[in-house]
């Protein structure tokens, strides 16, 4: 894995092309700022040994972005105030995901052992719209909620580089399955990021580096939400239980292993879509089943 350099910004590609459970990290040379330390434990250990890392920033609270934060326990941690609670308490973290009791028994040890969770309170909380000076580099903080309540993106003004975290422009599409995720906020954040005047967009996963990404790429990413909703509405021509909806694999396309992980992803996303459709009067819940409301309409 070779670093990519954009002025003082060093792009550290994650293992397995930054696919979960890894992510792409950033390191700001001179300022010693490390963003989302979950690219590669070996690479980050080498960075710590060879560079003067001074602080860690998190784009949001997810485990695939803090996985190696334990290597920097002695350094200041900056994050949004809205995403701070799950970083300070493992039970809160699992609650924010919406894990049931059975899932908590699996995820608790996993978060401690694989993702090296250690309770942390931020040294400082970012403010939306503030500009942070890192020497000659200006960084604008952009609140991009939806994926998580306090998800942040960072616009490095002088090299015209935008880091969008988990709005990653992958073909899979956006994740908005957490307890406090929101579909409408996700779409608003995608629109906000698309309007930013960046020459380079860096993302938290997979491809990672996009030079002047075209509007069509943003539209394709956003359209995944509509595609999921359309498939769900078609499925609900016949009343379905939540279990039957999950089994239809609208999110992942087929049954995948480990089943507990992917079934969880299906359930939380479908629950978000069902809530969204019910608020718009398009879906009814009766006798333990969801069904399309043929008297309703898309708003």
List the pLDDT tens digit at each of the 299 positions of the chain.
Answer: 679 999 999 999 999 999 999 999 999 999 999 999 999 999 999 999 999 999 999 999 999 999 999 999 999 999 999 999 999 999 999 999 999 898 999 999 999 999 999 999 999 999 999 999 999 999 999 999 999 999 999 999 999 999 999 999 999 999 999 999 999 999 999 999 999 999 999 999 999 999 999 999 999 999 999 999 999 999 999 999 999 999 999 999 999 988 878 999 999 999 999 999 999 999 999 999 999 998 755 43
Span 225-292 CATH architecture? Orthogonal Bundle (1.10)
pTM as predicted: 0.95
Q: Where in the chain is the domain with CATH 3.60.15.10?
A: 4-213
Residue reference for tokens 């920033």: 57
pLDDT of residue 141: 98
Q: What is the spatial distance between Cα 222 and Cα 218, in angstroms, rounded to a whole number? A: 6
Burial of residue 108 (number of CB atoms within 10 Å: 0-12, 13-18, 19+): middle
Please name the helix (run of DSSP H) or strand (run of DSSP E) that holds residue 1, with its range, or none.
none
Q: Which residues of 58-73 are buried (b: 16+ CB within 10 A; e: fewer)?
A: bbbbbbbbbbbbebbe
Span 4-213 CATH architecture? 4-Layer Sandwich (3.60)
Q: Where in the chain is the domain with CATH 1.10.10?
A: 225-292
């Amino acid at each position: 894995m070779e670093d990519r350099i954009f002025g003082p910004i060093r792009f550290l590609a994650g293992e397995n092309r930054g696919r979960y459970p890894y992510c792409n990290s950033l390191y700001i040379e001179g300022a010693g700022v490390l963003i989302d330390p979950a690219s590669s434990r070996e690479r980050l250990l080498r960075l710590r040994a060879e560079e003067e890392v001074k602080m860690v920033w998190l784009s949001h609270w997810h485990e695939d972005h803090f996985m190696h934060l334990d290597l920097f326990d002695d350094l200041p941690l900056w994050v949004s105030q809205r995403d701070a609670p799950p970083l300070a308490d493992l039970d809160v973290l699992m609650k924010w995901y919406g894990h049931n009791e059975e899932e908590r028994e699996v995820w608790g040890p996993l978060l401690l052992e694989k993702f090296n969770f250690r309770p942390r309170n931020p040294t400082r909380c970012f403010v939306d719209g503030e500009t942070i000076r890192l020497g000659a580099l200006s960084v604008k903080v952009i609140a991009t909620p939806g994926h998580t309540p306090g998800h942040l993106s960072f616009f490095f003004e002088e090299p015209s580089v935008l880091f969008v975290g988990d709005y990653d422009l992958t073909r899979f599409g956006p994740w908005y399955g957490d307890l406090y995720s929101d579909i409408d906020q996700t779409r608003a954040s995608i629109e906000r990021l698309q309007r930013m005047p960046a020459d380079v967009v860096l993302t938290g996963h997979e491809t990672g580096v996009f030079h002047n990404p075209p509007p069509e790429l943003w539209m394709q990413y956003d359209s995944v939400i509509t595609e999921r909703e359309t498939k769900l509405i078609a499925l609900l021509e016949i009343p379905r239980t939540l279990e039957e909806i999950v089994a239809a694999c609208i999110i992942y396309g087929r049954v995948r292993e480990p089943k507990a992980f992917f079934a969880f992803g299906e359930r939380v996303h479908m629950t978000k879509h069902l809530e969204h459709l019910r608020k718009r009067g398009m879906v009814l819940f009766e006798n333990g089943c969801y069904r399309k409301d043929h008297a309703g309409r898309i708003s």
